[in-house]
Amino acid sequence: MSENSANNPQNEEVDLGQLFNAIGRLFSNLFNFIASIFKGLFKLLIYALKPLINNFKIISIILLALAVIGFVADKFRKDIYTSDMLVKPYFDSKYQLANNVDYFNALIKSSNYSELSRIFEIDTSEAKELIEFEMEIGPETKNDLLIDYNEYLSEIDSTLADDVSFDDFIANRDILAASIFSIKAKAHQIDIFKSLEKGFINTFENEYSKKLKEIRDDKLDKNKEIYLGQLEKIDSLQNTYLKIKTFESENPSSSISSSNVIPLVQEKTKTKEYELFQEELKIRERIRAIEEKKIEENDYYDILSGFEEVGRKELEITERNIVLLPALGMILMVISFLLYNVFNYIKDYEE
């Protein structure tokens, strides 16, 4: 019995030793596998760069020639100018705006300059200078995003609201969820942008937006009518209270008596002029808010910042031929050398 108990610790030590050795071999194999991947990538890079180093002079001449060709091409290429317009659509006219931006780009791609000339009220020669339009979300503050997030949570089921974080909302937010939009116009002509505003202004007003505006105005008018009716009732009550106060002030010693009972002095009637006055102020504030809303949102859009008179020259370094041609040439040469080495390896491979 004592011999078995003495052997148990030794067996446990052996088992733990084997376990640690197995874990050590597992991590060693894993590290070797990762190292082999990096070695393979390094060899692949060396195979790709070695021909470039061996033919450095020829490749330098080719890249220099491509850079010169790109420089000449940039000189003869027309300059590209851009300008931005910030707009705030109302009555869901943003959907029509997005649709029209796509429509304008389709007209440019199809070279339908006569239709572009009609829409923007410009010459056909000026319409040919248009390149494209882009629609993006306009500038927003953190408070704007938080307001949109709270409105979104109030519209969905409460059980789903707990699973939607603010970061998830921002990451999955659609462009049309915004209220302010930036319209970027690109053209070869530097002073064409201001004349493009008319074309966009005409796109905001459509049948659907008109219908929404009429519904909004009807609701506001009905609410205003209700508030005016409440004011009439308050005015009637105030006149009644005024008559009571006038009567009581004119008859301060009026009394009530019955047979031989001692006369009782009539108590003054309790009125609520102050409460009525406070309620009247609240109702008049609501009426004022309705009138302001109809004035402020009477149009289908607001142009927060229009197109500039003179566009900005676009200087995207990644779009210049002097950079693109050498980079493209280098990539093609690397791919060609890699394919050449693979071809030779397969050709000389022996089982």
Q: How far is CA 212 from the centre of its chain?
A: 23
Q: What is the pLDDT of residue 78?
A: 78
Q: What's this model's pTM, rounded to 2 decimal places?
A: 0.57
Contact (CB, 8 A) for 275 and 283: no
Residue 262 pLDDT grade (very low, low, confident, very high; cuts 50, 70, 90): very low
In this predicted structure, the answer to whether residue 266 has a pLDDT above a threshold of 50 is no
Q: What is the pLDDT of residue 319?
A: 66
| pLDDT (average), residues 271-294 | 79
Q: Which two tokens stand for residue 108?
A: 């440019």
Q: What is the pLDDT of residue 157?
A: 65
User: What does the pLDDT look like over 6-50, one tens digit per residue?
Assistant: 555 555 555 666 777 777 778 788 888 888 888 878 877 776 677
Residue 324 pLDDT grade (very low, low, confident, very high; cuts 50, 70, 90): confident
Q: What is the pLDDT of residue 233?
A: 82
User: What does the pLDDT look like over 189-223, one tens digit per residue?
Assistant: 888 888 888 888 776 777 777 777 788 888 888 88
Q: What is the pLDDT of residue 106?
A: 92
User: What does the pLDDT look like over 248-260, one tens digit per residue?
Assistant: 676 665 544 444 4
Most confident option among 96-100, 102-106, 319-323: 102-106
Q: Which amino acid is at 110?
A: S
Q: Which two tokens stand for residue 153?
A: 């949570």
CA pair distance 291, 246, nearest whole angstrom? 36
| DSSP assignment of 239-254 | HHHHHHHHHHHH-TT-
The answer for residues whose C-beta is within 8 angstroms of residue 127's C-beta and 6 or more apart is 113, 114, 116, 117, 120
- Higher pLDDT: 93 or 288? It is 288
In this predicted structure, the answer to whether residue 264 has a pLDDT above a threshold of 50 is no
b vs e for 175-187, b when ≥16 Cβ sit within 10 Å of the residue's Cβ? eeebebbbbebbb
The answer for residues whose C-beta is within 8 angstroms of residue 204's C-beta and 6 or more apart is 89, 93, 96, 97, 300, 301
Give 187's strand partners.
81, 130
Alpha helices, DSSP H only, in the chain? 2-54, 56-76, 94-109, 113-120, 124-127, 142-155, 158-161, 166-171, 197-204, 207-250, 273-296, 321-348
In this predicted structure, the answer to whether residue 74 has a pLDDT above a threshold of 80 is no
User: What does the pLDDT look like over 134-188, one tens digit per residue?
Assistant: 888 887 777 777 877 777 777 776 666 666 777 777 777 777 777 888 889 898 8
Domain boundaries, the chain: 10-75+331-348, 78-206+304-319
